[in-house]
Amino acid sequence: MTATVIEATAQPSPLRPEARAPRRTRSLGVWVAEHVALVTLAVLFVAPVVFVVLTSLMPAEQTLTATIWPTSWQWSNYLEVFRTVPLARWFGNSALYAFGATACMLVSSVPAAYVLAKIRFRGASLLFGAIVVAMLLPPQVTVIPVYVLWSKVHLTGSLLPLILPNLFGDAFSIFLLRQFFLTIPREYTDAARVDGCGEWRTLLRIVVPMARPGIAAAALFSFFRAWNDYFGPLLYTSENQAAWPVSYGLATFRGVHGTDWSITMAMTVLVTVPVILLFLFAQRVFVEGITLTGVKG
Partner 1 sequence: MITPAVIGLLVFFVYPLLASLWYSFTSYNLMSPPQWIGLRNYTYLFTQDPKVGKAALNTLWFVVFMVPIRIVSALAVAGLLVRVRRARGSWRSVFYLPALVPPVASVVAFVFLFNPGTGPVNRVLHLFGVDGPLWFNDPALAKPSLVLLSVWVMGDIMIIFLASLLDVPRELYEASSLDGANGAQQVVHVTLPHLVPVLLFAGVTGVIAALQYFTEAAVASGVASGKATIGAGASAAIGYPDDSLLTYAQWIYVRGFGNFQFGYASALAMVLFVVASVLVVFMMRRVGAYTPSEAS
Partner 2 sequence: MNFRRVRSSLLLTVSAGAALALAGCSTGSADSAPVASAAPTDLSGTVSLWHFFSDREAGVIQTAVDEFEKANPDVTVDIHSGQDDAKLQQVISSGGDVDVAVSFSSDIVGNFCSTGAFVDLEPYITRDKVDLEQFPEVVRTYTEYDGTRCTLPLLADVPALYMNSAALAAAGITAPPTTLDQLEADALKMTEYNPDGSIKTLGFNPLMGFYENTPMNFGPTVEAQWLDADGQAAVADSTWPEVMKWQKAFVDTIGYDKLQTFTAGLGQEFSDSNAFQTGQVAMQIDGEWRTAFLADQAPDLQYTTAAFPVGMGHDDLYGSGTISGNVVGIGKGSKNPELAWALMKYLTTDTDSVVGLANGLKNVPTTLPALTSPDLVVSPQFQTFIDIAKDPKTTTRPSSPLGSGYGQPLTDFWTKWQGTDGSGLQDGLDAAAQQMNDSLALVAAP
Contacts with partner 1 in 139-168 (CB under 8 A)? 139-149, 151, 165, 167-168
Helix 124-136 to helix 87-118 angle (10° resolution) is: 150
Nearest CA-CA partner of 232 in 136, 154, 162: 162
- Look at residue 239 and give the partner it binds from partner 1, partner 2, none, a contact being a CB closer than 5 to 8 Å depending on partner kind: partner 2
Q: Which stretch binds partner 1 (CB under 8 A): 69-77, 78-86, 195-203, 211-219?
A: 195-203
> Where in 185-224 is the site for partner 2 (CB under 8 A)?
199
Instruction: Give, for 15, the enclosing helix (H) or strand (E).
Output: none
Min dist. Cβ of residue 149 to partner 2 (A):
7
> Where in 213-242 is the site for partner 1 (CB under 8 A)?
224, 227-228, 230-231, 234-235, 238
Min dist. Cβ of residue 214 to partner 1 (A):
15
- Which of 5, 60, 216, 290 contacts partner 2 by CB under 8 A? 60
- Which of 2, 241, 272, 291 contacts partner 2 by CB under 8 A? 241
Query: Exposure string (b/e) for 56-88, b if CB count within 10 Å is 16 or more?
Result: bbbbeebbeeeeeebeeebeebbebbeeebebe
Q: What is the DSSP string of 123-181?
A: THHHHHHHHHHHHHS-GGGTHHHHHHHHHHTT-TTSSHHHHGGGGG--HHHHHHHHHHH
3-state secondary structure of 113: helix
Min dist. Cβ of residue 110 to partner 2 (A):
15
Q: Which residues bind partner 2 (CB under 8 A)?
A: 60, 64, 115, 119, 121-123, 145, 148-152, 154, 156-157, 199, 238-241, 254-260
